[in-house]
Structures are given as C-alpha cells and as structure tokens.
Amino acid sequence: MKMEARRFLLLLFLLSLLSISTAATTRKIRARKPCKSMVLYFHDIIYNGKNAKNATSAIVGAPQWANRTLLAGQNHFGDLAVFDDPITLDNNLHSTPVGRAQGFYFYDKKEIFTAWLGFSFVFNSTEHKGSINFAGADPLMNKTRDISVIGGTGDFFMARGVATLMTDAFEGEVYFRLRTDIKLYECWQQV
Amino acid sequence: MKMEARRFLLLLFLLSLLSISTAATTRKIRARKPCKSMVLYFHDIIYNGKNAKNATSAIVGAPQWANRTLLAGQNHFGDLAVFDDPITLDNNLHSTPVGRAQGFYFYDKKEIFTAWLGFSFVFNSTEHKGSINFAGADPLMNKTRDISVIGGTGDFFMARGVATLMTDAFEGEVYFRLRTDIKLYECWQQV
Amino acid sequence: MKMEARRFLLLLFLLSLLSISTAATTRKIRARKPCKSMVLYFHDIIYNGKNAKNATSAIVGAPQWANRTLLAGQNHFGDLAVFDDPITLDNNLHSTPVGRAQGFYFYDKKEIFTAWLGFSFVFNSTEHKGSINFAGADPLMNKTRDISVIGGTGDFFMARGVATLMTDAFEGEVYFRLRTDIKLYECWQQV
C-alpha cells in the first residue's frame, strides 16, 4: 500500500505540473465555439457637401490631389473618415438604435477598394452597457471580411474575438450598411 | 484497497480533463482583481496658432467646413489630433515626466463631445521600460470612461486590461489633463 | 489506509483548486518561447508630388503649418500617412510579395523622429490566408522597437504577440523598409 500511495502522489505531482504548464506556457488554444455571438448592423451616411444634417461621417483627411467634400479618385485611396453611426438589430436605418459605432476608416489601396477600420460599438441600453473595440483590414470587395475584437469594457470587459463584416447595402457614394457578426472567444467576468 | 486506488485514478483523470478543458476551450474567465494597477496623468496642450512652443498636440485632420488652427464647431466633430504628451505621477504639469503618451484622438459626434483614442504610454525610466497600448471610445462628458489596454511591450509584455479615464482639468480649448487608472488583468513574464 | 485515502482526496481537492485559480483568476502567465515566429519585410514609398505611379503611401493629414506633398519640418510632427505596402520574405523590394501591409502611421514628436502605427498584414497566398493586426509606438531612432500584435484572423485567428521593427533601409524622404520580427505567444486553433 505505501508504495502505491507514493506512486499516486508522484502521478498527481506530474499531472499538476503538466496542467500548469499547459495553462501557462504553451498557449496553444483550441476554440470550439464562441462564448458569445451577436449580429448587428451599422449605417454610415457620408457627408458630401449637401447632406450636413443627415451625415453620420465626414472625410477629415485626404491626399494632396483630393478634397474633403468628395471621395477621391483611385478607389478613394487616402480618404480618411470619422464616423458616429447608429447600430441597429436589423437592416433598417430607421429602427431604434441600440448603440453607436464610433471610429474611423480610411481607403488604402489605389487599384481596388480596400479600407482599414478602428472603431468601437458603444452600448448604453437596458440590454447592454459597455463597449467593444475593433481593428483590422477591410478588403471590402470580398463578400465577408474578418476583423479583430481587440478588447471591451463594461458588459464586454476584456472581450476578444473576431467580427465578420458584410456589406449589406451600398447606395452611390453616400450610404453603406455593414452587417457585423461578432463572435467572442474570450469572455471575462468581473467578480 | 485496489478498488479505492482505481477510484482515485479515475477521479484524478476526470479532474485533469476538466482542468484542461477549462483552460483551453470555454475561455470564460473570472477576474478577481488586477495583477497590476497604476494611476498616471497625462497633459495635452493643443496648438491654437499662438502656442507653437508649448503645444504637445496639433490638429492634423478636420472636416471640409473647418480648419486646423481652431477646434471645429459641432462639438469639434471630425477634428483629428496627434499628440506627444508628458505623463506624470501626480496632477502637476510641471512634475518630472515618467514617460510620454503618444497617439491620436478625434472628436466623433456632432451633438455632444465624444472622442476616440489610439495611443501608447511609452516609458523609459529606471522604474519602467516598455510601452502600454490603448484603444477605445471616450465619451468625455461622462465622469469616468473605460478604454481597452490592447497590448504591451517590455515590462508590460503582452499586457491586457482596462483603463479608466477621468478629465482632471480642462482649460478653455487649449489644455486638458486626463487621469488614467490602469488595471491589468493579464500580466505576462518572459522567461 | 482510510486515513491516507482521505489525505489524498484532500490534497487532490486543494491542488485542483490551486490549478483552477491559476488558470482563471491571477492570470500571471510565463512565456517561454513563441508558438509562432516569422520574419517579414515591408516597403514604403511615400508620395512626394513626383512619384504618383510608384508611391505606396501618401500623406493625408498634416498640421496647419505643413502641406500634404512634403513631409513637414519639426521631425515631420503631425504628418499622417496611409499605406498599402508590399510584404516580402527578403529585403528586396522587387521580390514577389507574400501579402500587403495596410494601415496608417503618423509622426508624433517635435524634437526627434518618432511615429505611431496601426496596420494589418493581409495574406492571401497558398502559404498563408488571413491577417495579423498591429498597433503601437515606433520610436524609430532606436535600432529595434516593439509593437503589439493585437489580434488576427484566418490562419492567425485570435493571435497575440509582439513584433520587433528594425529600419532596414532609409532613402531620403521617399523610401523606407522595415524588417518585422513577429513572435506570437497566443496561437489559437478553430476546431
């Protein structure tokens, strides 16, 4: 018996070492399914010199050959816009917003349309309080594009994940609507 | 005895499975308290056409209806500023800086003051070497606002957490001071 | 024997508690070595009024005292550029690109050259599909500078790590090449 007991202890010790090293050093993590999923839409109305009242975004930077009233040639390369867009649960611009998408995007390729985005979803409703922060490349000619959830606050404290963007509508050079499928793979809880 | 031994082994095995799955797949994490906390202040003096010598930030982007010398109307919507601000341990602009806050902010709402920030705290003192990177929405009319710590280097290697911003002072449209309560919930160590 | 068995169980219970608390709450993590390492180069050709065809980046924001054709005085303080740069495996601008570095940088200090970067490596080759997102301060007079890998998608799903930048070449105010040593310490796998 004494022998067996020692063997258990040894095994226990080895297993606990293994477990600590798994958790703390290799950091190869398998993601089975998101700990939280949400689908939301946001709506961007770009200022074009005539829609000051309705516009939710405006060009604030542009290359030397362009201006800040109209999107530039060469696939808008260099145009930088700041936005404060309503977030809705469905694809209707006139639905009651559940939050605001606030941030910036710029067009960054001369040959085709591509953009880069840094923004937050800011919630202040009975359902959600807090924010989700995003960053990443948006090759917007692709049907779906993945960007990163780089952090969050409040209900989304310390969140990490991936968001899939889809252009749900595009009207001239004034309005676009993005469907955002958010999948969080790290969900923290403050206790 | 043999039976009991087997039961221990089975229990051990089940527990170890549970432990691995907790660490590696569900990623629902409880945060009891920060692994590191810091309170720091940074000081922003915005260029206004007359203070070139003292200014620590400047407007570099603005909407079509505004200029880069004065903050725009409509709650500065669209104004984008780049900054290199001193960081101090207390709320005195003239204290010896312990680092520099470097990054950008822009005002992004027409109806009220809100901003969005992307920046780093860059330390190079005897106490701290390295950087902390931040991003997030700053609804600056609120007493406290949370943004994300999205990463770090050096002493703050791989850090993640939340920073709470408070406007500690605001003088005209030239100077503001932000108190920053940094709470890290992921602290890594390079070995 | 019964006593010993109980002692084992108690020990087991205590150890399992310890293990769960290590994994889930203190989050002090030891990083032994990266789970993935890559060395890549990217090449930036800044628009200067004469190189519209070859330029891969352009100034889109500048302070009031500067313009968007030439980099500003005072160590380019306030100049904000948008880029779409080729990524290569070696330091040859003319090697076949393995992806594009897309994002923005701005110069943010009056006294010396420093910059801040937000960008993505976008891969779409047989070897790699997906993107890596970066952010951080670039004190570019230093031989090496660390920025954060804040997320990733596709092959780099949920990646976190550190990238070390080195200026590999700098020609006038038109061309620079950055060597990027990427070290990921969190590698996720979608299953």
Q: pLDDT, tens digit, for every residue of A3-18? A: 676 677 666 666 555 4
A55 touches chain C (CB under 8 A): no
The mean-pLDDT minimum among A24-33, A76-85, B80-89, C178-187 falls in A24-33
Report the predicted TM-score, pTM, of the whole model to 2 decimal places: 0.89
- DSSP per position, chain C: -HHHHHHHHHHHHHHHHHHHHIIIII-EEEE-S-SEEEEEEEEEEB--SS-TTT-SEEEEE--TT--SSS--HHHHTT-EEEEEEEEESSS-TTSPPSEEEEEEEEE--SSS--EEEEEEEEEESSS-EEEEEEEEEE-TTSS-EEEEEEEEEETTTT-EEEEEEEEEEEETTTEEEEEEEEEEEEEEEE-
Among the residue ranges A139-143, B71-75, B117-121, C41-45, the one predicted with the least confidence is B71-75
pLDDT at A20: 41
Contacts of C106 in chain B (CB under 8 A): 60, 82, 104
Which residues 63-102 of A have a C-beta within 8 angstroms of C?
63-65, 77-80
Cα separation of the two ends of chain A:
44
Residue of A nearest to C191 (CA): A32
Weakest-pLDDT range from A24-33, A112-121, B136-145, C161-170: A24-33
Query: For C161, which residue in chain A has the nearest alpha carbon?
Result: A27
Helix (H) or strand (E) holding A76: helix A73-76
- Write the CB contacts of C143 (distance below 8 Å, at least 6 apart in sequence): C166
Interface test with A, best of B71, B148, B164, B165 (most A CBs within 10 A): B148
What integer pLDDT is reported at residue A12 of this predicted model? 64
A-contacting residues in C 101-160 (Cβ below 8 Å): 102-104, 118-120, 122, 130-131, 133, 135, 150-154, 157-158
State the Cα–Cα distance between residues C121 and A96, nearest whole angstrom: 37
Q: Which of B19, B108, B161 sits opposite A19 (nearest CB)?
A: B19
- Name residue A14's beta-bridge partners: none
Supply the pLDDT for residue B178: 98
Say which DSSP state A67 is in.
-
Asked whether the beta carbons of residue A135 and residue C135 sit closer than 8 angstroms, the reply is yes
Say yes or no for a CB contact (<8 Å) between A137 and C122: yes
Residues near B174 by Cβ (< 8 Å), separated by ≥ 6?
Answer: B45, B46, B48, B51
Asked if this assembly's ipTM is beyond 0.90, the reply is no
Token output for C108: 């943010």
Residues in chain A: 191
Q: Count residue pairs from A and B with Cβ separation < 8 A.
A: 156
Residue of A64, A120, A124, A190 best to disrupt the B interface, most CBs of B under 10 A: A120
Task: Report d(CA C160, CA C34) in Å as an integer.
Answer: 10
Which subunits have 3 or more CB–CB pairs within 8 Å of chain B?
A, C
Closest CA–CA distance from residue C110 to any residue of chain A (Å): 21
- Flag if A102 and B110 touch (Cβ within 8 Å): no
Model confidence pLDDT, tens digit, residues C121-130? 999 888 999 9
Report the residue of chain A nearest C188, measured CA to CA.
A29
Task: Give chain A's mean pLDDT.
Answer: 90
